[in-house]
C-alpha cells in the first residue's frame, strides 16, 4: 500500500520534472566559453557544450586535460573564472547556498574513486542520502528502496558489508547505487569503468544504459575506455588541452581526419 503510493509519487515527480525540462528547451546543461585556471595553470581554456534531456554524452580525453574539473563546475564544487555554466537554466556560480543544495539533489555524481563512506556499512551508505537529503524517516520504506537499488546493481548480498571488504568493481557499483537511489535527473559519471576488468566494465556500461532506460536520466560519462564509450554513447566529445577538439557519433570519430581523435579508437 505504502509502496504503491510511493511509486505513484515518484512517477508524478518524474512527470513534473520531464515537463519542466522540456520548457527549458530540452537543454539541461549548457557551458559557454568556460574558463578555469589554478594559479598560473590554465586548465579549461574555452569549453562549449550542451547536454540534452535523455542523452548520454561521452567525454573522451587524455589524463589531466580537465575533464573532472569541467564536471565539478557543473555541481558548483569549483567556480569557473569566466564563461557560463548553466544547469536547468540556472547559473551555478551565482546560486545561493540553498538553491545550490536543491540543484545538487537533482544531479547524481559518481566519483572516480566511488567515494563510499568507509565508516558505514553498504546499507547505511545508501540510506545516508535518503535520510539526510530526502529526510525520510520510515525505516521500512528506506530498506525497501535500498534493497531495490542494490538488486539493480546486482549486489544485494553485500548489504551488510563494510566498504573496505569490497573489491574495486563492487565499490564502483555501490557508488553508482548510492547516486541513483536519489533518482537524479542528470548523472555525471567520472570514469565509471577505469581500473576494472573488461567483463566488469561491460557490466557497468550496460548498467548505465539500463539505468537510463529505467530512470530516464541525462548523463555525461567521462571515460578513457573506448569499449564503454561505444556501448553508452549517443554522442562523443573529445577534449584535449582544455578545449573540445571533436564532436560526433562513435563511427564518425573513428574515421576522423585528426590523428589524435583517431588514436583514441585504436
Partner 1 sequence: MEQIKSPSWSKTFEEVGNQVSFMSGFIRNIFRTGFEWNELVRQCYMIGYNSFKLVGITGFILGFVMTLQSIPTMKVFGAVSFVPGMVSVSVIREIGPVIIALLCAGKVASGIGAELGSMKVTEQIDAMEVSGANPVQYLVVTRIIACTLMVPLLSVMADGLAICGGYFGSNISGHVTAVLYFNKAFHALAFGDLLPSVIKSVFFGFAIGFVGCYKGYNSNGGTESVGVAANSAVVSASLWIIVLDAVAVQLTSIFVYN
Ligand X SMILES: Nc1ncnc2c1ncn2[C@@H]1O[C@H](COP(=O)(O)OP(=O)(O)OP(=O)(O)O)[C@@H](O)[C@H]1O
If one asks whether residue 137 binds partner 1 (CB under 8 A), the answer comes out as: no
Residue closer to ligand X (CB basis): 26 or 42: 42
Instruction: Candidates 61-69, 118-126, 213-221, 229-237: pick the segment binding ligand X (CB under 6 A).
Output: 61-69
If one asks whether residue 14 binds ligand X (CB under 6 A), the answer comes out as: no
From the CB of 175, what's the least distance to partner 1, in Å?
8
Instruction: Candidates 63-71, 144-152, 154-162, 165-173: pick the segment binding ligand X (CB under 6 A).
Output: 63-71
76: helix, coil or strand?
coil
Give Cα separations from 175 to 4, 153, 264 (angstroms).
27, 10, 27
Residue closer to partner 1 (CB basis): 94 or 119: 119
Number of residues lying near partner 1 (CB under 8 A): 24
From the CB of 95, what's the least distance to partner 1, in Å?
13
CB neighbour class for 155 (10 Å; exposed up to 12, middle 13-18, buried from 19): buried
If one asks whether residue 133 binds partner 1 (CB under 8 A), the answer comes out as: yes
Residue closer to partner 1 (CB basis): 20 or 119: 119
Residue with cell 561521452: 58
Instruction: Find all residues with CB under 8 Å of 106, minimum gap 6, and list them.
Output: 17, 88, 184, 185, 186
If one asks whether residue 189 binds partner 1 (CB under 8 A), the answer comes out as: no
89: helix, coil or strand?
coil
DSSP labels for 163-204? GGGS-HHHHHHHHHHHHHTT--SEEEEESTTTTS-HHHHHHH
Instruction: Find all residues with CB under 8 Å of 132, minimum gap 6, and list them.
Output: none
If one asks whether residue 54 binds partner 1 (CB under 8 A), the answer comes out as: no
If one asks whether residue 63 binds ligand X (CB under 6 A), the answer comes out as: yes
- Residue 128 β-bridge partners: none
If one asks whether residue 7 binds partner 1 (CB under 8 A), the answer comes out as: no
Residue closer to Mg ion (CB basis): 88 or 244: 244
Amino acid at each position: 500500500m505504502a509502496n504503491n503510493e510511493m511509486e505513484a509519487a515518484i512517477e508524478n515527480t518524474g512527470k513534473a520534472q520531464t515537463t519542466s525540462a522540456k520548457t527549458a528547451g530540452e537543454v539541461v546543461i549548457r557551458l559557454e566559453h568556460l574558463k578555469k585556471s589554478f594559479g598560473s595553470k590554465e586548465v579549461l581554456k574555452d569549453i562549449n557544450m550542451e547536454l540534452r534531456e535523455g542523452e548520454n554524452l561521452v567525454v573522451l580525453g587524455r589524463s589531466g586535460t580537465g575533464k573532472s574539473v569541467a564536471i565539478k563546475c557543473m555541481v558548483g564544487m569549483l567556480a569557473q573564472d569566466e564563461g557560463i555554466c548553466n544547469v536547468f537554466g540556472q547559473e551555478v556560480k551565482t546560486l545561493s547556498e540553498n538553491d545550490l543544495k536543491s540543484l545538487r539533489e537533482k544531479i547524481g555524481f559518481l566519483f572516480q574513486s566511488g567515494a563510499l563512506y568507509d565508516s558505514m556499512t553498504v546499507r547505511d551508505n545508501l540510506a545516508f542520502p535518503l535520510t539526510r537529503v530526502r529526510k525520510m524517516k520510515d525505516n521500512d520504506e528506506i530498506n525497501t528502496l535500498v534493497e531495490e537499488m542494490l538488486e539493480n546493481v546486482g549486489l544485494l548480498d553485500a548489504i551488510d558489508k563494510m566498504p573496505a571488504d569490497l573489491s574495486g568493481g563492487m565499490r564502483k557499483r555501490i557508488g553508482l547505487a548510492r547516486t541513483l537511489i536519489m533518482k537524479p535527473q542528470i548523472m555525471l559519471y567520472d570514469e565509471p569503468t577505469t581500473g576494472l576488468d573488461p567483463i566488469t566494465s561491460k557490466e557497468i556500461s550496460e548498467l548505465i544504459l539500463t539505468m537510463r532506460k529505467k530512470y530516464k536520466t541525462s548523463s555525461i560519462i567521462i571515460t578513457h575506455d573506448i569499449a564503454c564509450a561505444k556501448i553508452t554513447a549517443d554522442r562523443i566529445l573529445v577534449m584535449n588541452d582544455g578545449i573540445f577538439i571533436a564532436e560526433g557519433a562513435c563511427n564518425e570519430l573513428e574515421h576522423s581526419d585528426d590523428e589524435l581523435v583517431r588514436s583514441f579508437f585504436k
